[in-house]
Structures are given as C-alpha cells and as structure tokens.
Amino acid sequence: MDMAVSNQQKSGRIHPHKFTLWVAMGSIVMMFAGLTSAYVVRRSQANWLEFSLPNIFIASTIVILFSSLTIHLALKSFKAREMQRYRTLIAITAFLGVLFAVLQFIGFTDLHKQGVQLFGQGSNPSASFLGIITGLHVLHVIGGVIALLVIFFGAFFSKTKIYSPTSLEIVATYWHFVDILWIYLFVFFTWIR
C-alpha cells in the first residue's frame, strides 16, 4: 500500500481526488438545479409544447439503476480481492453504461420521429430545454463511460498489481452520481412537466 494513502487513512483526511470530485459534483448539481428551475419558470409562459417521453427512457432508467448495483458489487469484490468476480462485475457495468447511452440515443431518435425538434428551425422552448438539460447529462454519462472503460481495461490488461481502491471508489461515486442525476431528470421530465 502506498505510504501517502496509508497516512491519509490514518489521519481521516479525504483523498484530494475524492475531494475534487465532490466539489465538481456540487457544481454540477447547482447547474442542473438552475436549468430545471429555468425550465419551470419558462413553462408558465406562452409557446410551450407538451409531449411525453418515449417508453425507452424507462428501460434506460432500469439499466442505469442496475449498473449502479453492479459497480457497487464490483467495488466490494475489489476490496475483498475477489478479482475474477470484480472483473466480471466491472465488465457488466461497462456494458450497461454503454447500453444506457445507446438507449438514450434511441429515445431521442423516437422523439425526433414524433416531430419533437430539439434544436434549430421548428424547435420549441420545451424541446430545447429538454435537449440542453439531457444533452449535458449525456456528456457527463460519456465521461463516466470513458472512466468505466479505463477501469475495465485496467482490470483485464494491466500488468501491475495495484490494490488501492481509490480510483475505483472515485469512478463508482461518480457513476452513482450520474445515476441519481438521471433519476432526478427522468422524474422531473415525466411528472413535473
């Protein structure tokens, strides 16, 4: 175990990368709170298009919830040094992360087929808000998927044996955050609209 990591654990201080992640997540929460508040304010004005989200978004929500469970179990397996189980679970998590992104793409394609234009000519403020808010979430998901894939490839192809769980804990925390953020947005766009 790295001496710096050991000293941090003894002192009870948070790892600098974890602290940075928490600050970043706080900023992201504030951004999405501002955007959804602006959505609510703008909704009460004229020229607002009402539409329902396609059912594929329910499937994508189930997928991301399940991926949160698998990354949690992967972290537990890593800490228990059950490396085969860890590799299996991190592979499933990476697959589910990619599947979530694909299902989101299908959902927005369905909206487009229904005539809901998110941006450009023929768009409506409600559709544009949906596009901006969920587009920003998709960017965060892509970042999370990239992090999952880095962890995945490290689990299968890394020659060095490092048993510090810090990087996996950071990725798991971020992935849970992206999951919670999507659930908030899904509930918001399904019931608050």
pLDDT digits 0-9 by tens, 81-132: 898 998 999 999 999 999 998 999 999 889 888 888 778 777 777 888 888 8
What share of the chain in percent tops pLDDT 70?
Answer: 91
Whole-structure pTM value = 0.81
pLDDT band, residue 161 (cuts 50/70/90): low
> What's the confidence (pLDDT) of residue 115?
80
For residues 114 and 11, which has the higher predicted lDDT (pLDDT)?
114
Arithmetic mean of pLDDT, 61-87 = 93
Arithmetic mean of pLDDT, 148-163 = 76
> What's the confidence (pLDDT) of residue 70?
96
Over the stretch 15-37, which tens digit does the pLDDT of each residue have? 888 888 888 889 989 989 998 88
Q: Answer whether residue 144 shows pLDDT above 90.
A: no
Provide the Cα torsion 100, 61, 51, 123; round to 10°.
-30
Distance CA 18, CA 22 (A): 6
Arithmetic mean of pLDDT, 1-15 = 57
Mean pLDDT of the residues in the chain: 84
Residue pair 117/124 in contact (Cβ under 8 Å)? The answer is yes
Choose the most confident range, by mean pLDDT, from 23-37, 45-59, 63-77: 63-77
Which of left, alpha, beta for 2 (phi over 0: left; psi -120 to 50: alpha)?
beta
> What's the confidence (pLDDT) of residue 112?
83
Which residue ranges form the domains of the chain, and what is each CATH number?
52-192 (1.20.120.80)
Choose the most confident range, by mean pLDDT, from 9-13, 70-74, 77-81: 70-74
DSSP string over 48-113: ----PPPTHHHHHHHHHHHHHHHHHHHHHHHHTT-HHHHHHHHHHHHHHHHHHHHHHHHHHHHHHH
